[in-house]
Amino acid sequence: MIKLFHAWGSCSLASLIALEEAGADYELAVMSTRDGDQRRPEYLALNPKGRVPALVTERGVLTENLAILAWIAGAFPQARLAPTDPWDFAQAQAFNSYLGSTVHVAHAHRHRGYRWATEESSFEDMRRKVPESITECFRLIEDGLLKGPYVLGETFSICDAYLFTLADWLEEDGVDPKLFPRVLAHRERVRARPAVGKVLALQAA
């Protein structure tokens, strides 16, 4: 059985949603990043990066949402969570790469400033910049990257699990989601999916 190490409130929600959408048989290990579970020796032995998600498979441990999401789509092809055409799959990867390398990083400047600086004044400057940076990111998604009704068009994919996860942080990043009606409609569309509802119910339990 595969095992996902996940923390509520983190980007690993995307991988958890993908597993549920795929109908995978998996074990969920819930971590508390506030308590520092990700820095415990037993977890670092699995994932020296000290972050979530990490997915234990029969062939080893996978880290990074981009890789885990692609693996889930490939391991459960019957779920059709990613295109099979090489060009179309590359487009899906390009979208998810943007989420991971740009959107998530912009978000992290609100509460992870210590990754880039040491002075408190720098942290505050980063926090002030977040609403502007996130707005720019989602303006691009709204106007140019979201094909609709799902990211790649008519069919739910791994891209939708990832976008839903980051779009659900808009309010806490100081951005009004109503600025992005297509993104907001997408967020609610994904939230209404049975698999996503099941995952969110786990969080509320």
80: Cβ contacts below 8 Å, ≥ 6 apart: 155
- Asked if residue 4 has pLDDT above 80, the reply is yes
- The secondary structure of 141-166 as a DSSP string is IIIII--SSBTTBSS--HHHHHHHHH
**Mind listing the pLDDT tens digit for each residue in 185-199?**
999 999 999 999 999
Class of domain 86-193: mainly alpha
- Asked if residue 113 has pLDDT above 90, the reply is no
Q: What integer pLDDT is reported at residue 117 of this predicted model?
A: 73
Q: Percent of the chain scored above 90 by pLDDT?
A: 87
CATH architecture of 2-79+198-204: 3-Layer(aba) Sandwich (3.40)
Question: Which one has a higher pLDDT value, 204 or 62?
Answer: 62
CA dist., res. 90 & res. 2, Å (int): 26
**Mind listing the pLDDT tens digit for each residue in 135-186?**
999 999 999 999 989 999 999 999 999 999 999 999 999 999 999 999 999 9
Least confidently predicted of 38-52, 82-96, 104-118: 104-118
The domain segmentation of the chain, as residue ranges, is 2-79+198-204, 86-193
